[in-house]
Amino acid sequence: MRTKTLAGLVAVFLCSAVLTPVAGAADLPPVSAGPAETPAAPADDIWTRSTLTGDWGGLRTTLHDHGIDVQLRLSQYGQWVADGGVNTNGEYGGTMDYRVNADLKKLIGADGLSVNMHARTRFGQDVNADAGALALQNAGLLMPLPGDYHGTDITGLMASYTFPLFAGRLGNVTLGKLDVIDLVTGFFPHIGYGQEGFWNVNALVSAMPWFGSVQGLSLYGGMALTINEKYKAAESGFIFAGTENVSDSWGSISDSFEDGVFLAGFHRFFWDLDDKMGYFMVFVGGSTKEQASNNPHDFIPIPGQGIVSTTQKEPWDVALYIYQDFWQAADNPDRKATLFIGGTVGPDNPQFAQWNIFGSVEAFGLIESRPRDRMGVAAWYNGLSNQFKDLVSPVIGLRDTWGAEVYYNLAVTPWAHLSADLQFIQNQNKGDDVAIIPGIRLTVDM
């Protein structure tokens, strides 16, 4: 393994070795359309406060009282292709997330208005090329752009403006430069950003077919949501976005929509099963941009680049999801177990992936003495488009992909989480053995 990889992993273990496991205050809340409701709780004890750097001598509380919430998170990853895949190798990389949410009601008296900014610096390297182009083994290292960063880094900035829909009676509208992973996390708050639970994109959400129609992970656009008052979650909504990825630059808004627009809508049907929440969700979307199945993307390497396709069509997808809480502790609703199942189907052309199915089971605080730990197991299957396979067959032989993942996230302190992860992945390349990919992740809320 490379010297830099070893040095990075040693740093991870040294950071975690000095921390004592304790139960403490809540994690930073998931990203939402508005600012966080509460600031980091001030505390003198470094082991029990919610962030490593605390309340900054009262500055964080003061900022919150005036409508500004600041969240900083450092995530570090060590991941290996121990066997199989394209090549056996290990790498170290990470990200630094900077989030600033401003409540304009507190700042200037503008009721219901907020500005949300998310900047992210990525550094280090990943094993994407070693696992396989479509393995998607680390969601946390997708943004701002995938790739290896030797002695440098890359930063992307997303910003959005949210205002109430019909005076807040129905929901809200968000406009701006949208982080697609933040949007998905907003729809499914339990999945996180690849920093809390599962690592693989396929274990988080039915993603692969959508990568054929979504042209970037940061897009100019907007969405309108209605909120279910009982469950405090998005019930229905509409999304539009440009087709030019702008994750590491501002670009031009007009250029983003020059080749077409991505449109999507969803509705969620809620229910209670033995007083435990569940829902069925329908999500439909597509793009007006005509493209080939091997159309290049900035955020994921598509096999078959350079092969000319004479067929271009507009992509679309239909996704279905079922979610159910099936266990919940009587004295703590945050301690629970969940089932999440989903799948997507689209046309054989122009997507490179035509259909997907996945399922996961996660437990949050399953062990009573460890209420802040979480764990999970997931499996998935992606059916690649036959048209796409035929198109690139003169250069490379492709097959469907599948995989499974298991992880355990240990709450070392309220602000530090150490995760062990293991994935088994059959990538898209015929002839490659199933990849065995262990990993370790340290996330620190600053």
Alpha-carbon distance of 424 to 404, in angstroms, equals 5
- The 10s digit of each residue's pLDDT in 313-335 is 999 999 999 999 999 999 899 99
d(CA 392, CA 27): 46
- Quick: pLDDT tens for 330-353: 989 999 999 999 999 999 989 899
pLDDT over threshold 80, residue 433: yes
Task: Give the residue extent of every domain in the chain.
Answer: 3-445
Tell which CATH classification among 3.40.50.720, 2.40.160.180, 3.40.640.10, 3.40.50.620 matches the domain 3-445: 2.40.160.180
Instruction: Report the Cα 151 to chain-centroid distance in Å.
Output: 26
Instruction: Check: CB of residue 185 under 8 Å from CB of residue 192.
Output: yes
Residue 411 has a pLDDT of: 96
Contact 161, 97 (CB under 8 A): no
* E strand intervals along 303-400: 316-329, 332-345, 353-364, 374-384
Let me know: does 221 contact 246? Beta carbons within 8 Å: no
Q: Rounded distance, CA 417 to CA 52, Å?
A: 12
Q: What is the pLDDT of residues 386-410, one digit of tens each?
A: 999 999 898 899 999 999 999 999 9
- Calculate the average pLDDT of the chain: 86
Select the more confidently predicted residue: 25 or 446.
Answer: 446
Judge whether 188 and 139 are in contact, CB under 8 Å: no
| pLDDT the model gives residue 145 | 77
The pLDDT of residue 253 is 87
DSSP conformational letter for 69: E
Residues 228/232/235/236 CA torsion (nearest 10 deg): 100
What is the total residue count of the chain? 446
Q: What is the pLDDT of residue 114?
A: 87
The answer, yes or no, to whether residue 45 has pLDDT greater than 90, is no
Q: Quick: pLDDT tens for 20-30.
A: 333 332 333 33
User: Hey, how many other C-beta atoms are within 10 angstroms of the C-beta on 271?
Assistant: 11
Report the 10 Å Cβ neighbour count for 91. Answer: 26
Residue 279: pLDDT over 50? yes
Measured CA to CA, the distance from residue 382 to residue 391 in angstroms comes to 18
Give residue-wise pLDDT tens across range 219-230.
999 999 998 989
Residue 12 has pLDDT above 50, yes or no: no
Q: What percent of the chain has pLDDT over 90?
A: 56
- Computed on alpha carbons and rounded to an integer, the radius of gyration of the chain in Å comes to 21
Q: Report pLDDT for 152.
A: 65
C-alpha–C-alpha distance, residues 152 and 445, integer Å: 23
Token duo for residue 253? 């808004």
